[in-house]
Structure 1
């Protein structure tokens, strides 16, 4: 089992290395065609990994009682849940980049390092979640209620974000000087002998903390499907690996997916109810996959066929690099 985990980490590290240091070595703005090809490639890898899942559970490479076919269905369900919830994450990331006016040529770099951090944070959260569910049966009710709360909140939340109000960002700005301008793709620079963070680093921190917040919803959602830690982690990570290319595909079409949030809310509610009724309701694994896929497809189709309501005018945004930054910390 340990070798399987090590092998998966090596596989992910290889994919990330090829992505940043070989295929995207030079900063550039991916065209829509390129982004679509990359999205197709990442999706193929994610879906194709189900073949390895079958072999691993057939040959006992993972310590689990699941049958190979059941493990594949569970993996695909978890992958689809994370992929669908990642779409909502994409829209928030687009708002963050717009808020900080991150040049499009450097957005891929921010997303790459943001996902690097997400791998470690999510592993810790998944292992903690699996441990709690295995040790304390009442945690199913806690997670179920959390998902129902998240579903209700998703329907009522506003798309407006104010990163300058983030306490972590306020702390960073008070600990280290922050430049007003971008300095290429660097996160830190030296100016007049002083080390300073660039707006790109501030944007990275916001993307990272946002992912952790989203993981509070997505990880319990997958744990509501299975507590097999390898299935939860592999489906989660392989779904977010394609987040960068998915961002460049969807970021320009945000307004066309107005009704997707209702599908995501229903998906969270479905898994939440499933966790609350785990002692009396045991639907077939394929049923969860069909329900989740159907809700996601319905949200996308309705969004594309029905015109979205006109957005309300927004107030102008102040320069986030100088909001509430002490004068002695500005450069």
Structure 2
């Protein structure tokens, strides 16, 4: 893809404009979104993402279009997993429902900024060091194992990082509207609102480490990586309120994501072998016999894995509910 600085500037400006509009139109005044509002805006952003992908296919070719859709599906699935952790954090900190929009919005913006930084670093590494594909592939295989076998019941609000924050910041026990700090008896205190945002910011950093190597396993185009991430994050706030109860029913989402991350990890290692330059592996010569997984297969595999994980989750929770009712 030949993306000019002007196209980059317009894309970033439009992305920022969407989030600014979101804040002033929906988040600035604290309220709990209705189901209808959440459904309309979720459909709008998903439709916009699909239209953009079709545009990429028509203007740059369907290889790039397929890379975008594979990346968008992967990032959307990872973002929904991110939402589940957000839900755990906001429950742990007892964030009032009318303030949850603000927390989500700030969390999503932090996620976009962090991912933008990782995208730039990843693009520079890939351009200059082909061996980074080995590193990304190994990292994704480790992350896949963690995703599959580390307990999802872990409460991030009680982790070591948050315990450190609590020890070093004066914190109030109660919320003071949506204020982040408050002055009491002449002393400045941090509210639970700011503590929640700090926790979510730390979680965003962890998820960015998962997210960027995963999508670079599907495309080397930084523009596709950025736009797939941006569209995956757009509408995430509305999706949280739309599928709030459904999040807890996606019991196999972690396993589905583990399969996707492992698949992309293997894909990256195979690609690294194909472009190998490390002198201590095959004498520094590319291993052209290593198969390259085509993008159409990646897209089909990712979509099928998400569909199976979702269907299996809903079947299991429905069966469990029926069993409970029988008892």
TM-score between the two structures when normalised by the length of structure 2: 0.86
Change (3 A) 1:160 1:306: closer
Which residue number corresponds to residue 149 of structure 2? 156
Which residue in 1 is equivalent to 2:7?
A: 4
Q: What secondary structure does 1:256 align onto? A: coil
Matched, 1:290 2:300: yes
Tell me which moved more, 185-194 or 125-134. Answer: 185-194
Tell me, in whole angstroms, the C-alpha distance in 1 between the residues paired with 2:192 and 2:55. Answer: 41
Structure 2 unaligned regions, length at least 5: 275-289, 322-327
Can you list the C-alpha shifts for 1:21-50, whole angstroms capped at 9, x where unaligned?
Answer: 023432111233322222111211222222
Does the CA-based 8 Å contact 1:154-1:265 persist in structure 2? yes
CA distance in 2, matches of 1:186, 1:308: 40
CA-to-aligned-CA distance 1:146-191 (integer Å, 9 cap, x gap): 1111111111111223445445434443444211100111112222
CA deviation string 1:203-254 (max 9, x = no partner): 1111111111111111111000111111101101210122211211233123
- 2:316 is equivalent to residue 301 of structure 1: no
Q: 1:38 aligns with which of 38, 41, 44?
A: 41
Name the Cα RMSD after superposition.
2.0
**Pairing 1:209–2:219 present:** no
Do the aligned partners of residues 115 and 254 (structure 1) sit closer, same or farther apart at CA in structure 2, a change above 3 Å counting?
Answer: closer
Matching of residues 1-331 of structure 1 within 5 Å:
1-54=4-57, 58=59, 67-278=60-271, 279=274, 280-307=290-317
> CA 1:273/1:4 → structure 2, altered by over 3 Å: closer, same or farther?
same
Deviation at 1:299, TM superposition (A): 0.8
Q: Normalization by structure 1: what TM-score? A: 0.85
Query: How far did 1:262 drift?
Result: 1.8
Note if contact 2:92-2:157 (Cα within 8 Å) is conserved in structure 1: no
Structure-1 separation of matches of 2:164 and 2:9: 36
* d(CA) in 1 for partners of 2:164, 2:314: 41
> How far apart are the structure 2 equivalents of 1:153 and 1:145?
13
**Structure 1 pair 258/165, CA: closer, same or farther in 2 (3 Å)?**
closer
Give 3-state SS (helix, strand or coil) of 2:189's partner: strand
The SS at the match of 1:195 is strand
Q: Unpaired segments of 5 or more residues in structure 1?
A: 59-66, 312-331
Compared CA separation, residues 169 and 262, structure 1 to 2 (3 A):
closer
Conserved 8 A contact 1:90-1:250:
no
SS at match of 1:277: helix
Deviation for aligned residue 1:310: 6.8
How far residue 54 of structure 1 moved from its aligned partner, in angstroms, is 4.5
After superposing the two structures, state which structure 1 stretch, 71-80 or 184-193, moved more: 184-193
Q: Retained in 1: the 8 A contact 2:56–2:62? A: no
Instruction: Decide whether aligned partners of structure 1 residues 193 and 310 sit closer, same or farther in structure 2, where only a CA change above 3 A counts.
Output: farther
Structure-1 separation of matches of 2:119 and 2:7 = 17
Name the count of aligned residue pairs.
301
